[in-house]
């Protein structure tokens, strides 16, 4: 049995991913020379203080190491590493590291990361392509590869209601804002159904928020679904499954205008169906699918 002093440390870390120009990147912190003499990158995070909630500790550590204000998920994986002979603070000890690894994320428009903590264990922070981590082009600590092997994107299934409103060869469409998963593309007005909310009530509410028009919800035309991985409005990368209930709808008179502030819609307009069918107007698959239902 080892006679070395025992040192047990509990720390919280984050797998933080984002998508940029078709590639997935991970946020990493570079260990200071006093910790690693060679270049070595690790997950942002650090020790949990006595009496501190691990998620709160992680928010604090992410800010100190990257300057970013992160949101931390509610579930985690726990890793245990026993190092009978390890150097800590210049001393040889019997070390036991308990690592709690969460999913965390920042808004898509978050600033570039920068180290805030002075004379800490990290000296640089940056986003790196997952492919470069996997290939070894970016040297990483073992905890990074261990966490990535186990990491699964957050799964979300969302039921939403959408309105197919047509008038004089045009269809009412909304444009997705930079906060949405497919910014710049056009889709039908509508959105998520709240728990306990009737789909027609949800649809009338969403049309008013996105178009500034009253909405009379008609018959259910059909059901469309989509499955993809991408950013949620919060910035979190999700494995997303959307189930879309498409209703025929009549909207009130007046020029459509977006009422919701800082949402996922930044423009609304009556768009020529011919321009949609020709591809001149970029739309989500939901739009041609709904037009075929009518």
Q: Do residue 173 and residue 265 come from a single domain?
A: yes
| Mean pLDDT value of segment 87-107 | 92
| Secondary structure string (H, E, C) spanning the chain | CCCCCEEEEEEEEEEEEEEECCEEEEEEEEECCCCCCCCCEECCEEECCCCCCHHHHHHHHHHHHHCCCCEEEEEEEEEEEEEEEEEECCEEEEEEEEEEEEEEECCCCCCCCCCCCCCCCEEEEEEEEHHHHHHCCCCECHHHHHHHHHCCCEEEEEEEEEEECEECCEEEEEEECCCCCCCCCEECCEEECCCCCCHHHHHHHHHHHHHCCCEEEEEEEEEEEEEEEEECCCCCEEEEEEEEEEEEEEECCCCCCCCCCCCCEEEEEEEEHHHHHHCCCCECCHHHHHHHHC
Residue 162 lies in a domain: yes
Domain boundary among 150, 175, 196: 150
Residue 1 lies in a domain: no
- Give the whole-angstrom CA distance, residue 107 versus residue 115: 18
Q: Do residue 163 and residue 268 come from a single domain?
A: yes
CATH of the domain at 100: 3.90.79.10
Q: Do residue 104 and residue 14 come from a single domain?
A: yes
Position 90 confidence tier, pLDDT thresholds 50, 70, 90: confident
Domain count of the chain?
Answer: 2
pLDDT for position 192? 96
pLDDT tens-digit map of 163-175: 999 999 999 999 9
Q: Do residue 76 and residue 203 come from a single domain?
A: no
Domain boundary among 150, 176, 211: 150
Q: Do residue 218 and residue 239 come from a single domain?
A: yes
Q: Do residue 289 and residue 165 come from a single domain?
A: yes
pLDDT tens-digit map of 169-215: 999 999 999 888 889 999 999 999 999 999 999 999 999 999 999 99
Percent of the chain with pLDDT over 70: 99
Domain boundary among 88, 121, 150: 150
Which residue range is the domain that position 263 belongs to? 154-293
Task: Indicate the pairing of strand 154-164 with strand 237-251.
Answer: parallel
Q: Do residue 86 and residue 162 come from a single domain?
A: no
- Give the whole-angstrom CA distance, residue 107 versus residue 120: 25
Q: Do residue 184 and residue 269 come from a single domain?
A: yes
pLDDT for position 2? 61
pLDDT for position 278? 96
Q: Do residue 129 and residue 172 come from a single domain?
A: no
pLDDT tens-digit map of 22-46: 899 999 999 999 889 999 999 999 9
């Amino acid at each position: 049995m080892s006679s070395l002093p025992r040192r047990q440390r509990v720390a919280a870390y984050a797998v933080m991913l984002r998508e940029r120009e078709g590639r997935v990147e991970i946020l990493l912190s570079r260990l200071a020379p006093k910790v690693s003499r060679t270049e070595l990158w690790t997950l942002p995070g650090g020790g949990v203080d006595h009496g501190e909630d691990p998620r709160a500790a992680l928010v604090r550590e992410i800010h100190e190491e990257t300057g970013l204000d992160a949101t931390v998920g509610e579930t985690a994986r726990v890793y245990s590493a026993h190092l009978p002979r390890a150097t800590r603070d210049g001393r040889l000890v019997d070390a036991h590291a308990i690592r709690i690894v969460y999913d965390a994320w920042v808004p898509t428009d978050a600033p570039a990361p920068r180290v805030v903590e002075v004379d800490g264990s990290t000296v640089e922070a940056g986003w790196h392509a997952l492919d470069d981590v996997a290939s070894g082009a970016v040297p990483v600590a073992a905890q990074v590869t261990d966490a990535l092997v186990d990491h699964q994107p957050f799964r979300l299934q969302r039921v939403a209601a959408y309105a197919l409103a047509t008038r004089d060869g045009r269809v009412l469409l909304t444009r997705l804002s930079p906060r949405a998963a497919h910014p710049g593309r056009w889709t039908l007005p509508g959105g998520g159904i709240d728990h306990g909310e009737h789909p027609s009530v949800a649809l009338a509410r969403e049309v008013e928020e996105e178009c500034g028009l009253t909405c009379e919800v008609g018959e259910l035309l059909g059901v469309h679904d989509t499955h993809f991985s991408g950013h949620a409005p919060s910035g979190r990368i999700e494995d997303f499954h959307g189930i879309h209930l498409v209703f025929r709808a009549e909207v009130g008179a007046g020029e459509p205008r977006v009422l919701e502030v800082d949402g996922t819609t930044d423009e609304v307009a009556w768009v020529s169906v011919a321009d949609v069918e020709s591809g001149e107007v970029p739309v989500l698959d939901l739009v041609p699918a709904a037009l075929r239902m009518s």
